[in-house]
Structure 1
Amino acid sequence: MWHDNETAIDYLNFGVVADACASMLRLADGEPISIGVSGGWGAGKSSLVKMIALRLKALHEIEKSGESPNKFVVLTFNPWLYQDFESARSALLQIVGDEIVRLAKENQTIQDKVTELWRRINLLRIAQLSGEAALTLSTGIPVGALGKTFNSIVGFFSSTEKLSEAPLDPEVIGSAVNGLLKPSETFSMPSHIQAFRDTLEELLAELEITLVIFVDDLDRCLPQTAISTLESIRLLLFIRRSAFVVAADNDFIKAAVKVHFDGAGISSDVATNYFDKLIQVPLHVPRLGLNEAKAYLVLLLLEREAKAGTFTREQFQNALKLIPERLRNSWKGETINQVFLYELVGANETLQSLMNLAEGLASLLHGSSAVNANPRLMKRFLNTVYLREALSAPQGIKLDISALAKWHLLERCDESLAEVIAGQVHSDNDGRVQILADAETAAASQLGLPVQFSNNNFTRQWLQLPPALGTEDLRPLLHLSRDSGTRDFGDDNMNPDSRKLRDALRTATSGHQSLTDLMKKVGPDQTELAMIKAWQSCATFRTWRRNEDIVMLIECCKVFPLLGKKAASLLEQAPLKHVGPGIIPTLGAQQWAREVLDRWKDLNELSKQTKNAIENLGVKR
């Protein structure tokens, strides 16, 4: 199984982008810079950010050896971890302060400035809790809203026990504040923020470092936390020797800004500008092309085989080197093709089969709008496939990984077709679906597909993907996929004659004597089962406009009127917007259907023509 955490191993050909970003930070030469890494959910933002951070740390190590003038100190801030526990703004200031204290431990000459920085940080944290913009302190005692805030947070900033809700005691407060507010110091929020920024900038200059802060997982946060984080970035932004790399989904930021300013009627442009003012360099995570998608699947599969011991660690490291090199030269026509993949894995037929699978899956996962080559979705796709493989052995099921992958691909990308095929799997045909076999043969021969299959590129490619499933018993495959649908092959409670009746009802376009005789032979209970099974299996082909669509209900109720109640319940499942006026006269002649029609008449989903047809029947309320 593959975890969902970010990785610095380049499976996505992001190395070139990470190098470019690290180079921009280096060339800034101490000037403030902010870079926004934008991309949707699961696109690989966190992995790209981690790659950039590692490159900066490598530059820092070079600096230690005296070969480079760059000194980068990298901090990673994840606001999602602080959600519901502490303000993201306070948490970021705390992290920055802690790092400055750590770096200044051996430099006694700047301890006063470090103390001053902490005093400023603590005052900012208090002020944001109270919402006070400015405050004049003439006695050294906090007053107003800010003073009330001290009553609840003194214990956080000193060893003094938390005060009670009793009136404030100036002496106690003065002791608890412990120098945060100096006597007769005029507190002005703008000037205090500027003083904080000046102190931090001076410290960074004396420490001779560039502080690079990576902000990740904004799109996991609630809108309030996301905005709080961006506001805290604003406190530190554009200070010399500081840099920010912010990973965020642009659409999420727009939505968060709108929530934050709810009721202000701001436009999408204003929401976009909010983020743009914070970010100097917008960097979009590259969408995976077909080659990248194929390479990603190949590396995931080879990583798994390396852990299993069927592919050596040395071979895997070689693949990690050769695949990105080939991707960088893809513009020259060096694609990830079968020849290249076979050279990676050698003559091992099992590994060659996996390479074929990756090649077939990549095209379909890349082209499907349900996956769209999203790295996280592709990883989850493989996790589901291998989980089902793990579940198969204890149940005595032997299935090829390629078969599991082919079926799950259809479930993921064309659920309606998967349900059509699943509906044709029954015990009496040994789980084999003839229409699927016919479709696979037609696709291989470039012929027209059966009517149940859409004649589009995805369907044709899926049908051609090995192995062929139409001639196989699909019951084990569908049994393992019960997490995505209800699988019922349960015709086992039907006798051979009732199964014969079920099949006859499926194809019946009108009543006839042999059908009536068969119903009488099996009796009402078995006829009801046959009617239900036939009705369910024809659900995807029913137009709700022809009398042939409802003939099975009508004929069964003619022979056994007691089945009318069940027939009415099946009729109630109709998608009303599809029901045409043509079937109404036939239904109106059935006593069991009249109550259903009477209810339909007042429903808005029904078309005007169909309502008129019911009115013409003279159906009374």
Structure 2
Amino acid sequence: MIASVIADSVKVNGDAPLSIGVSGAWGVGKSSTLELLAAELKEIDPEPIVVRFEPWRHQKQDNVRAAFAECIANAIIDNEGIDDTIKSKAKSIVKRANWMRIAGYGLGGALTLATGVPLTGIVSRGVDTFAGMTDGDITEDDVAATKQFAKNGSSQIANLFDGDDEVAQSPYENIEKICEEFGDTLKSMDRRLIVLVDDLDRCLPETTIEALEAMRLYFFVPKTVFVIAADEEMLRLAVRKHFEVAGQTLDEQHLQSYYDKLIQLPFRLPSLSEADVVVYMTMLIVGQQPKIDDERRVEVSEELCQKLGQTWKGSRITRTAIMKTVDPDEIESDFENRIAMIERLAPRLVESRQIGGNPRLIKRFMNSLAVRRSLATKLGIPNETSESVLAKVLLLQRCGEPAMVKELEIDVLNSVDGKSNLLMQLEGNPVEPTASEVEVDPGGDVKDTEVATPIKNLDVSELWKSPFAKEWVKMPPDLAGVDLRAAIHVSRGADQVFSHAVKLSPESSELLEALIAQPSMADGLNNEIQEIQSEEAATIMGALIDKMVSCNQPDLRDWMNCCIAFSDIHTSQQTLLVSSLSKIGADRWEPAHAVALLNKPYTQQLSIELAGKLPPEHPALRVFAKQA
């Protein structure tokens, strides 16, 4: 819906320049919104040129300003509907972008980027030549080699720019000229240019600022629309860091002012509501029905979205309403049972602070459940270990305290028949609901509220008296009479098997499996970690952090060291690491953990984050204080 609203805003804006912000936390659907927006923009007449730019792909390997200018120019050059005169202007912009690389990186690095010549070619010859001139023993051969290298370098540059000396200006002059040529190019076109900027919050602070400043150069050019998708808090962090490096401190008012100057029209994506989650999870299951094709899927989605649009009146998305959107002949026999399971899961997935209605985390939850279900089938596990049982165990493992999970596992594995004595106490003996405990929702469905023995009167640990624990225990199905050994068994293997389902290269999947199997060996896999592409590093880091935050206390040090070692090499993941470490409970932090995090680029930031969450006299804080 937000994508449609943004598209409408673009339509009514005419040729005036416009900058739009799509903000929200990690995983709430910013990238998906841009994809939906790109489809909506195709309906505009005349159809605009839509460009997608991801700045994080260029950090540390390219000049972001040059890459941005080149990305836009190439979109114009590659468009079949643009005449050659306009394309020639765009080609001039590409040449200037290449010169910006030369000016920003020096001859060797720029030629590598612009020509594809590897370091073993002209650049390595330049390094050898430089070494010969600086080793304290300059010979005639060194002088001759230097002259020849300079001559070859000049030839390379001449070929790079096709003999166009005009582009060889100062960086400032080139930027001014690029903006001028960019404006002239768009003025000659009868179409608008819409730039979708994604994953800006994945960049390091310096790259974030460079990308923002690059975009600002074009914000006032007519016929341009910039849509920037990023977590606003991460942008604020980058801006604050940028000015701190420059010796300045920005308060919240100035940070907001900086953001407001960038974004004319802000949109914030909220986390999903309970009704949103029900529809989202339903569509995931609809997508698994072999008899429902893409066209029918769209029809079901549209019908459910219409019902979702009416929830502001107080109506609910009920199982009955969902079943009316599908035909009995096109769904599998367990479809309704799975929808009932979704109804039970949705409130917990919204309320849980670990998931909090985040679409990406919900999808990860459902993917993990699918893997466990598949494992259970392949291992011939009894039918009593149903998907609902697996889902309830998974919910506890994802959203409950690690100590609760460990306590239940020990209780189950120590029993003779795999049935939990702990759950027998917690579930008690349900009683019949009274009249006041029967709810009738606006859709007409009757919902019975079971009343169990009060947990506070039972002989169990305090963790099981939390609001989440109480709701989890009450949630069907009851588990006290179920052999849970199978559910625990598949949960232990599912995370490793799931790595194959993630879109990773074979090499990356192999590395992830190795790290999960032996996190303490991360330092010995430095070479393999270095070979991982930056776009896959985020996926691997996410999997490692999931293990770190959910592991048993004795394993926390190994998992923490594993994540530290990985982020030491893939520094773009350090922001995520700091955020995740700051969420670890005070009772789990030990002095040894803090020692492992000393002398890191992010140590100070982490200590500041923890200072607001750990008791003032906590041993971990004292370790950080000694370094300060």
TM-score by length of 2: 0.64
Q: Which amino acid aligns with 1:75?
A: V
CA distance in 2, matches of 1:382, 1:193: 48
- Residue 26 of structure 2: SS of its match in structure 1? coil
State the match for 1:289 in structure 2.
Answer: 273
Q: Map 1:387-402 to 2 at 5 A.
A: 387-398=371-382, 399-402=385-388
Q: How far 1:258 sits from its partner (Å)?
A: 3.5
> Of the candidates 80, 87, 92, which is equivalent to residue 56 of structure 2?
80
2:103 counterpart of 1:122: no
CA distance in 2, matches of 1:323, 1:418: 35
Q: 1:352 to 1:441 in 2, by over 3 A?
A: farther
2:275 counterpart of 1:331: no
Q: How far 1:349 sits from its partner (Å)?
A: 5.4
- Give yes or no for contact 1:104–1:110 (8 Å, CA) kept in 2: no
CA distance in 2, matches of 1:410, 1:156: 49
State the match for 2:359 in structure 1.
Answer: 375
> Of the candidates 212, 222, 227, which is equivalent to residue 245 of structure 1?
227
- Give yes or no for contact 2:56–2:199 (8 Å, CA) kept in 1: yes
CA distance in 2, matches of 1:111, 1:202: 12
- Residue 404 of structure 2: SS of its match in structure 1? helix
State the match for 1:318 in structure 2.
Answer: 299
- Residue 481 of structure 1: SS of its match in structure 2? helix
- Give yes or no for contact 2:421–2:480 (8 Å, CA) kept in 1: yes
Q: How far 1:365 sits from its partner (Å)?
A: 0.6
- Give yes or no for contact 1:87–1:225 (8 Å, CA) kept in 2: no
State the match for 1:599 in structure 2.
Answer: none
> Of the candidates 183, 187, 191, which is equivalent to residue 205 of structure 1?
187
Q: 1:346 to 1:120 in 2, by over 3 A?
A: closer
State the match for 1:24 in structure 2.
Answer: 9
Q: How far 1:232 sits from its partner (Å)?
A: 2.0
CA distance in 1, matches of 2:116, 2:341: 63
Q: Which amino acid aligns with 1:413?
A: C
State the match for 2:622 in structure 1.
Answer: none
- Residue 429 of structure 1: SS of its match in structure 2? coil
Q: Which amino acid aligns with 1:329?
A: Q
Q: How far 1:377 sits from its partner (Å)?
A: 0.7
Q: How far 1:157 sits from its partner (Å)?
A: 6.2
CA distance in 2, matches of 1:392, 1:171: 66
State the match for 2:613 in structure 1.
Answer: none
Q: Map 1:214-613 to 2 at 5 A.
A: 214-263=196-245, 264-269=247-252, 270-304=254-288, 306-307=289-290, 309=291, 316-345=297-326, 350-398=334-382, 399-415=385-401, 416-426=403-413, 428-441=415-428, 444-449=450-455, 450-452=458-460, 454-482=464-492
1:474-497 Cα offsets, whole Å, 9 max, x none, are: 111112222599xxxxxxxxxxxx
> Of the candidates 43, 65, 73, which is equivalent to residue 89 of structure 1?
65
Q: How far 1:127 sits from its partner (Å)?
A: 3.3
TM-score by length of 1: 0.64
- Residue 43 of structure 2: SS of its match in structure 1? helix
1:366-421 Cα offsets, whole Å, 9 max, x none, are: 11111101111111111111111212233331320000000110111113322222
- Residue 266 of structure 2: SS of its match in structure 1? strand
Q: How far 1:284 sits from its partner (Å)?
A: 0.5
- Give yes or no for contact 2:452–2:474 (8 Å, CA) kept in 1: no
- Residue 212 of structure 1: SS of its match in structure 2? strand
CA distance in 2, matches of 1:430, 1:155: 65
Q: Which amino acid aligns with 1:47?
A: S
Q: Map 1:171-182 to 2 at 5 A.
A: 175=158, 178-182=162-166
> Of the candidates 27, 48, 53, which is equivalent to residue 42 of structure 1?
27
State the match for 1:503 in structure 2.
Answer: none
CA distance in 2, matches of 1:605, 1:209: 61
Q: How far 1:246 sits from its partner (Å)?
A: 0.7
State the match for 1:522 in structure 2.
Answer: none
- Give yes or no for contact 1:71–1:208 (8 Å, CA) kept in 2: no
CA distance in 2, matches of 1:159, 1:386: 43
Q: 1:94 to 1:429 in 2, by over 3 A?
A: same
Q: How far 1:103 sits from its partner (Å)?
A: 4.1
State the match for 2:132 in structure 1.
Answer: none
- Residue 267 of structure 2: SS of its match in structure 1? strand
1:224-254 Cα offsets, whole Å, 9 max, x none, are: 3323322221232221111111111112112
CA distance in 1, matches of 2:415, 2:467: 32
CA distance in 2, matches of 1:575, 1:372: 22
CA distance in 1, matches of 2:618, 2:81: 73
CA distance in 1, matches of 2:217, 2:91: 19
- Residue 34 of structure 1: SS of its match in structure 2? strand
Q: Which amino acid aligns with 1:448?
A: P
- Residue 238 of structure 1: SS of its match in structure 2? coil
Listed as ranges, the gaps of 5+ residues in structure 1 are 1-15, 64-69, 130-148, 486-538, 541-573, 578-603, 607-621
Q: Which amino acid aligns with 1:405?
A: A
- Give yes or no for contact 1:122–1:180 (8 Å, CA) kept in 2: no
The number of residue pairs the alignment matches comes to 446
Q: How far 1:156 sits from its partner (Å)?
A: 6.5
Q: How far 1:104 sits from its partner (Å)?
A: 7.9
1:271-300 Cα offsets, whole Å, 9 max, x none, are: 444333222111101221111011111111
Identity across matched positions, percent = 28
Q: Which amino acid aligns with 1:419?
A: K
CA distance in 1, matches of 2:339, 2:30: 27
CA distance in 1, matches of 2:361, 2:154: 60
Of the structure 1 ranges 86-95 and 39-48, higher mean CA displacement relative to structure 2 is found in: 86-95
State the match for 1:509 in structure 2.
Answer: none
Listed as ranges, the gaps of 5+ residues in structure 2 are 130-145, 431-449, 496-551, 554-586, 591-616, 620-628
- Residue 371 of structure 1: SS of its match in structure 2? coil
CA distance in 2, matches of 1:17, 1:115: 35
